Chain A
Amino acid sequence: MKQLLVALIAGSLFGAGLAFSGMADPARVQGFLDLFGRWDPTLAFVMGGAMTPMAIAWIIQRRLEKPFAGEQFSLPGTTLIDRKLTIGAVLFGTGWGISGLCPGPGFADLAINPLPALAFVAALLAGMIAHRVTS
């Protein structure tokens, strides 16, 4: 129960941050990717702002035996840089550019602009299912 509450609070703060930073606005995200148009650097500030507490969190994490509200750390240990990683990133970046959306803003916008957000999220989940059934 405590774990669910922590996750709900984290998710809410995450969604709040997306909305406050302008990242729930597909045109603004696309503006960052639009180097030859009216370039909008906002996304770079969001990344910088987000990576700062996380960089500190990683330093703290190394000194902890277990998380504050969990039994153990379950973190990715893969270091492999393979075709899956690179092709996956190319496809993701292409879809990101076409729509101006990545998964976080897609879910955040379900509460702000439900109809187009739902079209994106439904396609997102369909793409995930397509990956699952083909691999």
Chain B
Amino acid sequence: MLAAFPHAMPLEGLIGGLMIGVAAAVMLLGLGRIAGVSGLAARATGIADSGTPRGIAIAFIIGVPLGALLISLITGGIETRFPPSVIPLVIGGLLVGYGTRLGSGCTSGHGVCGMSRLSPRSLIATAIFMASGFVTVALMRAGGFL
């Protein structure tokens, strides 16, 4: 089936996914917290007043680029193909920031942690943001932006 998608990286995806899942499990079983990046980022920056202790949030958020850098160094560089203009980054960032606070989570909190807990709230949120992403990209394609 995957022969139809020669650009896919199923093995790297699975292994990287396992690393993400183990990291989230360490946060849950080690510290009793959800590894939701949007919530931890809001806490680390002081945008959110309550939730995970600030030091823990800051340590986690600092770790994310460090771990990515380590993989980039070990593997001789990883691909990061950003949109060619800053406009989609800014519009996208604003919507992701506002939306994840309003909806209490993102791909990690609702997607990885909430769905594996079978939380109905997270299942609904993930279904909606996935659908919303599919529609957005389809519209961008139809409009000639991709």
CA distance A71 to B112 in the complex (A): 24
CA distance A20 to B71 in the complex (A): 6
Q: Do A34 and B80 touch (CB < 8 A)?
A: no
Closest to A60 in B: B29
Would you give the shortest CB distance from B32 to chain A, in whole angstroms? Answer: 4
Q: Do B112 and A54 touch (CB < 8 A)?
A: yes
- Contact of A124 with B41 at beta-carbon distance under 8 Å, contacts A21-B13, A31-B7, A104-B108 already known: yes
Would you give the shortest CB distance from A76 to chain B, in whole angstroms? Answer: 7
Q: Do B99 and A27 touch (CB < 8 A)?
A: no
Would you give the shortest CB distance from B10 to chain A, in whole angstroms? Answer: 5
Q: Do A49 and B21 touch (CB < 8 A)?
A: yes
- Which of B18, B90, B119, B120 makes the CB contact (< 8 A) with A17? B18
Chain A residue contacts of B89, Cβ below 8 A = 99, 101, 116, 119-120, 123
Chain A residue contacts of B128, Cβ below 8 A = 86, 89-90, 93
CA distance A101 to B115 in the complex (A): 20
Would you give the shortest CB distance from B84 to chain A, in whole angstroms? Answer: 10
Interface residue B65 (Cβ < 8 Å from any Cβ of A): yes
Chain A, 51-99, CB within 8 A of any chain B CB: 51-58, 60-61, 64, 66-76, 78-81, 84-99
Additional 16 contacts, C-beta under 8 A, given A14-B108, A50-B18, A102-B37: A7-B55, A12-B64, A14-B20, A14-B23, A17-B18, A19-B72, A20-B78, A50-B112, A51-B116, A54-B28, A78-B104, A81-B121, A93-B129, A103-B107, A110-B65, A131-B102
Point out residues on B near A: beta carbons under 8 Å.
Answer: 2, 5, 7-10, 12-35, 37-38, 41-42, 45, 47-48, 52-53, 55-57, 59-72, 75, 78-83, 86, 88-104, 106-108, 110-117, 119-121, 124-126, 128-138, 140-141, 146
Point out residues on A near B: beta carbons under 8 Å.
Answer: 3-28, 30-31, 33-58, 60-61, 64, 66-76, 78-81, 84-104, 106-113, 116-117, 119-132, 135
